[in-house]
Amino acid sequence: RRLDGSYAAGARLTQSSVHHWLDKCLGRFTGTARLCPGKMALEEQCSVPPQWRSISLTHVEFPEGDLTGQVLAYISLLPIAILVGFVTLIVFKRELHTISFFGGLILNEGVNWLLKHILREPRPCAGAHTTLHTEYGMPSSHSQLMWFFVVYFFLFLYLRMHQTNNARCVDLLWRHILSIILLGVALSVSYSRVYLLYHTWSQVFYGGVAGSTIGIIWFFFTQEVLTPLFPKIAAWPISEYFLVRDTSLIPNILWFEYTVTRSEARNRQRKLGTKLQ
């Protein structure tokens, strides 16, 4: 604006448009408005693709024609697969430690929801995605769930499961291989959330820190507080009715189930052979 009160050519702005722009740019501090696209591009180096495609049913979006983005979009669905897998295990196994593990995942998700609505930090590239459950991105729920799962599983593998046969080297090898695979999966899911512009690096990082911390706390709470109560819980009438069981005293449940199943199958085969004779 010039000293005489007139505007330069091409720079005329109405009062309402100025207020609208300021509201978009400064609204990040109140959590009530979206970020200014130009400011966001400067701060987060945001480059929104011209067109998105979504995976059917899940609505996870990836840049059209971007094969890497499509692969990462499918990888980002792994937390959903984990939750479905836990429900399946609980229905068919009905084991108390599995139920406790799943309870920790639900608690972790509750803490994530609470943190998001306390911090109220917007996602990057406001308006880039149209199908979002919440506009807040701190911390990343995908990252927090994956790192809870991975850290808890690490502790389960190395502290709870014990060797029961002589193949010590083989046993340790598959545990290390599985741990490396799980670590790679967690890193891939975390990276996918940044690549697909759902979260910033800080949101993913703090999600991982929160999930890892809750995973450690919940594992030792399960070991020290809940596990001694499992035999009593398994003896409840309702637990017996639904065939809920406690396997916490069995060192290697996979080896135990394998040997018991094989022994029972041989006994039944022997009895069947005797009847046929």
Give pLDDT tens digits for 184-240: 999 999 998 888 888 889 999 999 999 999 999 999 999 899 999 999 999 999 989
Stronger pLDDT, 251 or 140, i.e. the higher one? 140
- CA angle (100 as vertex; 95, 106 as ends), nearest 5: 130
**175 and 270: one domain?**
no
Locus of tokens 């502290």? 159
Give me the domain span that covers residue 188: 51-246
For the chain, what is the domain count?
2
Helix (H) or strand (E) holding 157: none
pLDDT tens-digit map of 117-137: 898 888 887 666 666 767 777
**124 and 238: one domain?**
yes
Stronger pLDDT, 171 or 198, i.e. the higher one? 198
Tell whether pTM > 0.85.
Answer: no
**271 and 170: one domain?**
no
Of 146, 147, 129, nearest to 196 by C-alpha is 129
**267 and 222: one domain?**
no
Three-state secondary structure along 32-63?
A: CCCCCHHHHHHHHCCCCCCCEEECCCCCCEEE
**101 and 180: one domain?**
yes
